[in-house]
Structure 1
Amino acid sequence: MAIARGERGVRADLEALLSQVHPVFMLPPLAASWFGAAVAGEFTISVGVVHMGAIFFAVYTAHVKDGYVDFYGRGEDDDHPMTIRGCRAALVGATLAFAACTLALGVLVGAGAALVTLPTWVIGFLHAPQFDTNPVTTTLGYPTGIALAILGGFYVQTTAVTATILGFSLVFLVVLAGVKIIDDEQDYDYDRSIEKRTVSVALGPDRARTLAVSLMFAGLVGVLWGTVDGLFPPSAPAGALAFGSIALVARRARPDIATMLLIRGAYVFLAALFVAVWFRPLSGAGLPDITIFGRYTYLVTEICFGAVAFGLLYRAGALWRAARTIAVLYPVAYLWDWYTLEVGVFAITMRTGHNLFGIPIEEHLFMLVVPALVLGIHETLRAHHS
């Protein structure tokens, strides 16, 4: 049975089979499996290899099925290296190999390990033509596979599901969903012509890009939440900062350039989080103690953030508009602040001790700095998108 189209022979067949191994999309799920093992701490290499093998064959199934449907079913692709029978044989082989790995996990670890791994193949097999025409499933298919690879890589080592591994899985699900929306934007014109409803087609490129950036931002904020809550190691935000910097550059780039940047940024993100969970470089370090300023501590922080707010407003040419808004807001904020302090809702310790009109002078500044910072960010974003 010929596997390769065109040429014949064992070498041609082998090259056709290897053509369905796309490193750009294959490596992240495999790395995600080992990332889950790293989060577990101590792990058994043999079990990790078997789980990685299952993930490999699940993704390979997705690649073969996608190429088969796009070329032979839809006529979207101009060429395909495999014959129809070759595609079907590859699907059967990959499915059997996945089943063998999943069964091995069931024997070595338990039924739970097999159950947490099985959905990855289901997602891969149904990616085309079932999932890739719906805005939700076409966007969440690959990110969900990554999230399950992380979760499964952890579970097969520990037979447990913790808040930490769920948090990491959710972060990658949300961040990669944003990346996938921008990736699909590359085919907007063609997808629209065949009524393939990706998010870009359903919402339009501009709103889809806004949603994508919002999802990535939400995922990175999730890293911050997880770190502050103690779920993630202290150095985890460094990974979020690295990816966020790349996403900031990519957010207004052409879809192909943005996708290239974001995929590589995702590699950096995963690598940085791997270092964070495995080496834990900041685990013994405490938070910087800014109380060295004593009773001027609160005042110093207000001056710092106030300078940032002034710079943003000045750059956006919005100083006068912001001043009017803050002036109208100030009486409301003053009454709210005075009342909450008067009834003992909160107390301020690191302050000068000087009051003005019944409240600390720092609170007067606070009621100017916070809205100024909000307006500065708002005006900067508005000027950037106009």
Structure 2
Amino acid sequence: MSVARHGDDTPSALRALASQIHPVFMTPPLAASWFGAVVAGEFQVSLGAVHMLAAFFAVYTAHVKDGYVDFHARGEDDDHPLTIAGCRLALVGAAVGFLAAVLAIGLLVGPVAALLTLPLWAIGFLHAPQLDTNVVGVTMGYPVGIALVMLGGYYVQTGTLSPAILGFAAVFLAVLSGVKIVDDETDYDYDSSIDKRTVAVLVGRARARALAQGLLALGALGVLWGAVSGLFPPAAPVAALVFLSVVLVARSAPAELATKLLVRGTYVFLALLIVAVWYRPLAPVGLPDVTALGPYTYLGTEVVFGAAALALLRYADAVGDAARTIVALYPVAYVWDWYTLEVGVFEIVTRTGVDLFGIPIEEHLFMVVVPALVIGLHETIRRLETAAAPQRASSPDPAKGAE
């Protein structure tokens, strides 16, 4: 039985089997397993290693099955190092390795830990041709696997799940789904020709990229939510800010370059979160005291966000449009604000105490700053999208060139 398509000797067979270990896609699941252990706090290396092995065999299964389907079944790929028999041997070997790791987890930790790990193999084995033919499976198969690896890496150490690890899993589910949408955009032409239902094929490249950016921003925002609520360490938002800077750079790039940037940005994102969770560098400092300015706190925040709004409006050349909208909106906002304060819907504590026309002076500024910020963001996004459209249109399509 020949294992390798390019050679019948043992070294050729070993090289062919090893070729299915793809570092770019293999590293994140293994790192995610250890990330779950890091979030758990003190952890046993032996338990972490067993769970990491289970993740390895699950991803290896996905790589082999994907190559088998794309080359031997669909004829999509130009070459593949394994024969049909070699693919089947690799799948059996990976299944045996995965089953052994799951049994070890069940014996060392418990049946729930084993059940939490089992779906990893199912996702890997069914990746092609089942999951990659529908929009949910092709987009969320890998992200769901990463989220489950994080949960499992935590559970094998603690025997339970916590809100913190659930939050981190949700963050990476959103982030990686966004990255996958951009990645699928690189194969838009070919996927369209075979009716492969990716997000880009279903809604178009522009809408797919907008959805991806929304998911990436949602993941970063989730880190901020987690830090403010105390689930994540205070330094976690630093990782989100660094990742968002990569997202901003990648937003106008062609799909192939954007994918490379986002994948590497995700590595950095995870690494910085590991540092934040393990070392907790800002723990002695904590989150900033938002009442540090006393009665001028509310006013101070309005100055900061008002300056940001003005900068955005000037960049988008929309100061005049914003002024007209604010003038039209102000009377409605004033009546609404006065009424809610009058009936006691809310109370402003950190304010100067200066009232004007029956409401705090800070509320008058609020009714100017908020719409200005909304309009500034809207017009800035629209200007950036207008500027990015010609760049994308003039960039060569890597998927088209590959054909």
1:273-314 alpha-carbon deviations (Å, 9 max, x no partner): 111111111122133346454433322322222121111111
Q: Distance in 2 between matches of 1:294 and 1:116?
A: 49
Kindly state the Cα deviation for residue 10 of structure 1 after the two structures are TM-superposed: 1.1
| Aligned twin of 2:57 | 57
Structure-2 change in CA distance of 1:63 and 1:282 (3 Å): same
Question: What residue is the counterpart of 1:298 in the other structure?
Answer: 298
Provide closer, same or farther for how the CA distance between residues 207 and 292 of structure 1 changes in structure 2, counting only shifts above 3 A.
closer
Query: How far did 1:231 drift?
Result: 1.2
Q: Does 1:315 align with 2:315?
A: yes
Structure 2: how far apart are the matches of 1:140 and 1:370?
Answer: 35
Q: What CA distance in whole angstroms lies between the structure 2 residues aligned with 1:156 and 1:66?
A: 29
- Alignment gaps of 5+ in structure 1: none
The answer on whether the counterparts of 2:228 and 2:287 sit within 8 Å (CA) in structure 1 is no
5 Å-filtered alignment, 1:199-210, equals 199-210=199-210
CA distance in 2, matches of 1:290, 1:30: 39
For 1:86, the equivalent position in structure 2 comes to: 86
| 1:17 matched to 2:17 | yes
Do structure 1's residue 358 and structure 2's residue 358 form an aligned pair?
yes
Deviation by residue 1:340-383 (Cα, 9 ceiling, x = unmatched) = 22222222233332221111222111111111111111111111
- Residue in structure 1 matched with residue 340 of structure 2 by the alignment: 340
Q: In 2 relative to 1, CA 41–287 (structure 1 residues): closer, same or farther, beyond 3 Å? A: closer
Distance 2:358 2:275 in 1: 50
Q: Identify the range of structure 1 (175-184 vs 215-224) with the bigger mean alpha-carbon deviation.
A: 215-224
Q: Distance in 1 between matches of 2:161 and 2:288?
A: 33
Query: Which one-letter code corresponds to 2:240 in the other structure?
Result: A
How far apart are the structure 2 equivalents of 1:97 and 1:292?
A: 57
SS in 1 for 2:77: coil
State the SS of the aligned residue for 1:129: coil
Please give the root-mean-square deviation of Cα atoms over the aligned residues, in Å. 1.2
The change in CA–CA distance for 1:292 and 1:66 in structure 2 (over 3 A counts) is closer
Match of 1:234 in 2: 234
Q: Secondary structure at the match of 2:130?
A: helix
Q: Distance in 2 between matches of 1:375 and 1:53?
A: 51
| Structure 1 residues 317-359: Cα deviation after superposition (integer angstroms, max 9, x where no partner) | 1111111110111011111111222222222233332221111
Q: What are the equivalent positions in structure 2 for 1:193-342 lying under 5 Å apart? A: 193-289=193-289, 291-342=291-342
CA distance in 1, matches of 2:146, 2:116: 12
- TM-score norm. by structure 1 comes to 0.97
Change beyond 3 A, Cα 1:155–1:200: same
- Classify 1:111/1:261 alpha carbon distance in 2 versus 1 (closer, same or farther; 3 Å): same
Q: Distance in 1 between matches of 2:40 and 2:294?
A: 42
How far 1:76 sits from its partner (Å)? 0.3
What is the percentage of aligned positions where both structures have the same residue?
A: 66
Corresponding residue of 1:159: 159
1:149: which partner in 2?
149
Q: CA 1:55 to 1:340, structure 2 compared with 1: closer, same or farther past 3 Å?
A: same
The CA distance in 1 between the partners of 2:381 and 2:19, in whole Å, is: 44
Residue 169 of structure 2: aligned partner: 169
Q: CA deviation at 1:102?
A: 0.5
Distance 1:376 1:123, change over 3 A: same
Flag the 1:101–1:290 CA change in 2: closer, same or farther, 3 A: closer
Change in CA separation of 1:87 and 1:292 when aligned onto 2, cut-off 3 Å = closer
Q: Which residue type is aligned with residue 225 of structure 2?
A: W
Following the alignment from structure 2 to structure 1, what is the Cα–Cα distance between the partners of residues 173 and 102?
23
Matched, 1:101 2:108: no
Between the aligned partners of 1:45 and 1:117, the Cα distance in structure 2 is 17
For 1:134-145, what aligned pairs fall within 5 Å after superposition? Answer: 134-145=134-145
SS of residue paired to 1:264:
helix
Runs of 4+ in 1 over 6 A off after TM superposition: none
Equivalent-residue separation in structure 2 for 1:286 and 1:37 (angstroms): 23
Cα contact 2:250–2:261 (8 A) shared by 1: yes
Q: Normalization by structure 2: what TM-score?
A: 0.93
Are the aligned partners of 2:61 and 2:125 in contact in 1 as well (CA < 8 Å)?
A: yes
- The DSSP-based 3-state class of the residue aligned with 1:132 is helix
Q: Which amino acid aligns with 2:213?
A: V
1:115 counterpart residue number: 115
- Aligned in 2, Cα 1:302/1:132: closer, same or farther, shift over 3 Å? same
